[in-house]
Amino acid sequence: MAKLRSNHSSGKGSNSGGMITKVGIFSGLLAALYFVFNLFSGDTTSLMRDAEDEELYQPRKAFYLPTSNGQVIHQKYYTLSYSEEHEQAEWVAYKLTRDELNMEWVDRRDEFKADPKVRTGSAVLEDYYRSGYDRGHLVPAADRMFSDEAMLETFYLSNISPQSRNFNKGIWRELEELTRNWAKRFKELYIITGPVLSVPPKGTIGDNEVSVPQAYFKVLLDISEPEVKSIAFVIPNQVSYDPLFEFAVSIDEVETLTGIDFFAELLDEALEKELESSFNIDLWDFSKKKYELRVNKWNK
């Protein structure tokens, strides 16, 4: 599959203006779709219908949900939209903070399990057996290692997607590790991650026919002062030897690709337009060391 690229510019305050190159299976399949917005942790009144403890959720001003084509599920430490057609989340959304990452980490336990909150039934562990694909996290376990409860919540199969092994352990790992570095540097990040389900999958796995996505996206938003900024990535579900920044795109480009509307309730309309239409890679530190680790070790 051909790599998706963006024509980006690197000067401070500059706009990318470029669209993702539409090649291979992506050619002719992208359309800009916009839907009615939902809030990121939303109106607390509506959330309490699903919440066992109203203190689990932050006030409306703290989070912003993208639009959803599936069942929106509020876990304790993140929110997701579940696609029954593809048996995985179309997106996961959460806030990652410096304080969380600086807490003592618990021991990781790989306890994968079906998600009881999915009304139609989620994928099950047997779907992944001998599939040739990794059980790839959308919310990384390492982003929720500050408590056993938070870490184990990332092992719901609703948060898992079939990822090519050298993608999961290679460029996707690099992006996840850099995201944690950026969250520590900028204090907190709003993160939305998901598979690209708007194009035909590579195939399916298991009795539940879990779709194998062609690519994945990650959208990052930093609204701290003085450098309010955003960046996004679209990366094919395959091994890569290209620098990570080559996959950087604007939020608008991800919206066009996926049909998902991000941050519809973001501050004011002018700021939303500015943050979604442009990005500046000079504001996000990329690591040559991690890139070399990926190419020389992680990809093997």
- State the catalytic residues: 137
> Using CA atoms, how far apart are residues 292 and 148, in angstroms rounded to an integer?
32
The amino acid sitting at 286 is: F
- Report the alpha-carbon distance of residue 80 to residue 158 in Å, rounded: 8
Query: CB-based contacts of 168: which residues, under 8 Å, 6+ apart?
Result: 134, 136
The 10 Å Cβ neighbour count of residue 255 is 22
267 torsion bin: left (phi>0), alpha (psi -120 to 50), beta (else): left
Decide: residue 297, CB within 10 A, 0-12 exposed, 13-18 middle, 19+ buried.
Answer: exposed
CA distance 154 to 152: 5
Query: Closest Cα to residue 143, out of 108, 173, 180?
Result: 180
